[in-house]
Amino acid sequence: MSKDRIIGLVSLVLGALTLVGTFYIKVAKMAVSMGDPGPRVFPAVAGGLLVLCGLGLLLKKDEPQELFMTKQQWMRVLRLFLAFVGYVLLLYLFGFVVATPVLLFVMMTMFSGENPVSIPVRVIYAVAVTAVVYVLFAVMLKTNVPKGILL
C-alpha cells in the first residue's frame, strides 16, 4: 500500500471515529439557545473533513514518493522518544532537580554520536544547565517546577 493510501486510511478511520464520537456528546437542552446548532456541529465538521480527505487520498492516483526516513532513522526517533518517556517518569518520581541532569546527560551522549564529548564535560553541562534553568524559573520567575512524589 502506498504512503498516501495509508495516510488516507488513517484520516478516514480518525474521521469516522470522530463522527461516531459526536453522537456521544451529551447536550443539555437548556444549554443550547434557539437556532444554535449546538456543540456537535464542529466536531462533526472536523470528522467529515477527515473522512473527505481520507477518501480523496485513497482514490487519488499513486505518485512516487521520496523515502522520509530509513528504518535505522526511525529507530533513532523511537530511542529518543523513549528517553523522553523515561524523563517524564523520573519527573513524576523524583522531580525536576534529579530528572533533568539525567536527561541532559543522556541526550548529550545521544546527540554527540560518534564523537562523544568527555564524561566530565557532559556532567558539568547537565548540572550547570539544570541549575541555570531552575534559578530562572523557580527562583527568578517564581514558577513551580515538578517536585516528584518520592522526594
Partner 1 sequence: MNYVLGALASLASPLCMALMFAGVISGIIFGAIPGLGGGILTVLVLPLTYKLDPVISIAFLCAIYIGGTSGSYIGSVLMGIPGDVASVSTVYDGYEFTKKGDPVRALSACTVANFIGTVPSMLVCMVACPVISAIAIKMGPWEFFALSFCAISLIVALSRENIFKGLMAAGIALLIKCMGLAPVCGTPRFTFGSYYLSGGIPLTSMFLGVFAGSTILLEYGKNAKADTSKIVKVSRFRWPGKDLAGNVFNIIRSWAIGLLIGILPGMGSGLSNVVAYAAAKSSSKHPEEFGKGCIDGVIAPEVANNASVGGALIPFISLGIPGDGSTALLLGALTVQGVITGPLMIRNYPSVVYMIYLACMVGALMVLIFEVIGMPIFPSILKIPYHYLYPIITVLVFLGAYVSSGNLFAIILTLAMMGIGVFMAWAGLPTTPFILTYVLGELLETNFRRAMSYSRNGFASFFTRPASCVLLVVAFAFIFYNLFGGKIKAALGKKKG
To which residue does cell 527562583 refer? 139
Which 92-151 positions form the footprint of partner 1 (CB under 8 A)?
92, 96, 100, 103-104, 107-108, 110-113, 117, 125, 129-130, 133, 136-137, 141-146
Q: Which residue is associated with the grid cell 526516513?
A: 69
Q: Please, what is the minimum distance in Å from the beta carbon of residue 25 to partner 1?
A: 5
Task: Please identify which residue in 13, 42, 62, 131 interacts with partner 1, judged by CB under 8 A.
Answer: 42
DSSP state, 35?
T
Is residue 91 part of the contact set for partner 1 (CB under 8 A)?
yes
Amino acid letter, 45: V
For residue 150, the 8-state DSSP code is -
Q: In the bound complex, what is the minimum distance in angstroms from residue 13's beta carbon to partner 1?
A: 12
32 contributes a contact to partner 1 by CB under 8 A: yes
- Please count the residues of this chain forming the interface with partner 1, following the rule CB under 8 A: 74
8 A C-beta contact, residue 15 and residue 49? yes
**Distant-in-sequence, close-in-space partners of 59: CB < 8 Å, separation ≥ 6:** none
User: Of 34 and 151, which CB lies nearer to partner 1 in the complex structure?
Assistant: 34
Q: How far is the CB of 135 from partner 1 (least distance, A)?
A: 13
Task: Give the three-class secondary structure for 4.
Answer: helix
